[in-house]
Structure 1
């Protein structure tokens, strides 16, 4: 039975602690050993299954209160709220792999169309409003990232989006005399383009960048802070400035995948 956080997550936290502070934690070391023990995993897995079921019960008023409390419980560096949200969202999302962090204030517009892979981290106050969402392994979506609705969004393994970035998956098109004031105009008066925004593996999106509908960020590509991306970027290219000028190339990643 898969736990929401298993011994690999505890090991990851231990390794980060050692790298940053130069010291280990006996408590975390003990937790890692216990979670690797099948005799503990089964009862804990049953508890998580029951707790998740109770948290996700679709009872009017109860569901609203539970959802509000779970969403707004304190996030990192505290782990209690992270654990409750993992239990809650595992029952609500289309697919949520083990060892996924969902922090405080995250909003999913279409939960059943969301797929989150192992060790993905959706940081504080991220809004994911696109029609579909697919997040790969070891991805970090930083605080206050906004992914707009209408189109599709995918970010592949080991990619990152920095804070305050806007990913636009649909937009009004200023053509054929159409109005552009948004969804409250009758459909006959609008012209809307919906596209998939795809961020390839190992790419990095800098703070405050904007990605427009239909763009593909190439493998390992770097988008500088504040850049506006209107067309596909090349693998391992570095793009800076409001007009996203290619500055040069980034050295390809030389590390293997984490287990």
Structure 2
């Protein structure tokens, strides 16, 4: 009955069906005017209630579960966003005080490593949205490191270089697996990739979208594909934010 009536209205074969069709279309595009006092109050109330609710869930549910998965976590761990980081493989995670992680990040451990892969963060480390940390043997972020969103730390590739071996489904080889070390105060920009075997010196900044294939010295601005030193940073340099 309902389907028959709907088809009758859509066909608009008589004046009544046509009037109903036009009325329905007007209702569908009805635009509720904004009542500043009412809707701003509703908006602020909604933000307050949802914020309190998500903060409570983060503190009593997501964060304790993630702490249980880690080998050890410091004080005041903050996981931004709803949920917790996705962890796969045999990786031991150690976090210092005041770390801030995005819930939309991934931490994976290489399944064939002789020893359990380790991901170690110092104090006051911040890791952005959709960053992936693929731990081959050990990845270390020292104190005050900042990681932009969508960064990728490739401690292992997952596939061998030899094409025949890849086609046969063989795993990556031992020489493709290694450490990545970011010394204190390093800032990695959005969308960067840092390859296995790289060490980035203290205070260095890597520009967004760069691919770091070789180690970088301390106190420089680097960028590009592959990343190269652009210039030295002054101790009081504020032009880069």
Which TM-score band (shorter chain)? 0.5 to 0.7
Task: Tell which structure's C-alpha radius of gyration is larger.
Answer: 2
Q: Which residue of 2 aligns with 1:109?
A: 88
Q: Which residue of 2 aligns with 1:166?
A: 152
1-structure distance, mates of 2:236, 2:183: 13
**1:76, 1:82 within 8 Å by CA — same for their partners in 2?**
no
Change in CA separation of 1:198 and 1:76 when aligned onto 2, cut-off 3 Å: farther
- Post-superposition shift, 1:242? 1.6
**1:159, 1:202 within 8 Å by CA — same for their partners in 2?**
yes
Change in CA separation of 1:236 and 1:147 when aligned onto 2, cut-off 3 Å: same
Look up the SS of the partner of 1:170 in the other structure: coil
Look up the SS of the partner of 2:65 in the other structure: helix
CA deviation map 1:145-192 (0-9, x unaligned): 0112433211000011100011100124525x76235xx7245xx534
- Post-superposition shift, 1:101? 1.0
Q: Which residue of 2 aligns with 1:224?
A: 207
CA deviation map 1:198-228 (0-9, x unaligned): 1110000010000011111111111111111
**2:206, 2:222 within 8 Å by CA — same for their partners in 1?**
yes
- Post-superposition shift, 1:105? 3.9
Look up the SS of the partner of 1:129 in the other structure: strand
Cα RMSD for the two superposed structures: 2.7
State yes or no: 1:191 paired with 2:173. Answer: yes
CA deviation map 1:113-147 (0-9, x unaligned): 11011000111311011322111111100010011
Q: Which residue of 2 aligns with 1:135?
A: 121
**2:86, 2:107 within 8 Å by CA — same for their partners in 1?**
yes
2-structure distance, mates of 1:145, 1:208: 8
Q: Which runs of no fewer than 5 residues in structure 2 stay unpaired?
A: 1-49, 110-116
**1:75, 1:81 within 8 Å by CA — same for their partners in 2?**
no
TM-score normalized by the length of structure 2: 0.65
Aligned counterpart for 2:98 among listed residues 112, 115, 119: 119
**2:210, 2:223 within 8 Å by CA — same for their partners in 1?**
yes
2-structure distance, mates of 1:211, 1:162: 12
CA deviation map 1:73-120 (0-9, x unaligned): x88994213212232233332101110112334112257711011000
Q: Which residue of 1 aligns with 2:232?
A: 249
2-structure distance, mates of 1:236, 1:162: 18
Q: Which runs of no fewer than 5 residues in structure 1 stay unpaired?
A: 1-73, 255-259
2-structure distance, mates of 1:238, 1:208: 16
State yes or no: 1:152 paired with 2:138. Answer: yes
Change in CA separation of 1:195 and 1:76 when aligned onto 2, cut-off 3 Å: farther
**1:209, 1:228 within 8 Å by CA — same for their partners in 2?**
yes
Change in CA separation of 1:137 and 1:244 when aligned onto 2, cut-off 3 Å: same
Look up the SS of the partner of 1:133 in the other structure: strand
2-structure distance, mates of 1:228, 1:76: 39
TM-score normalized by the length of structure 1: 0.61
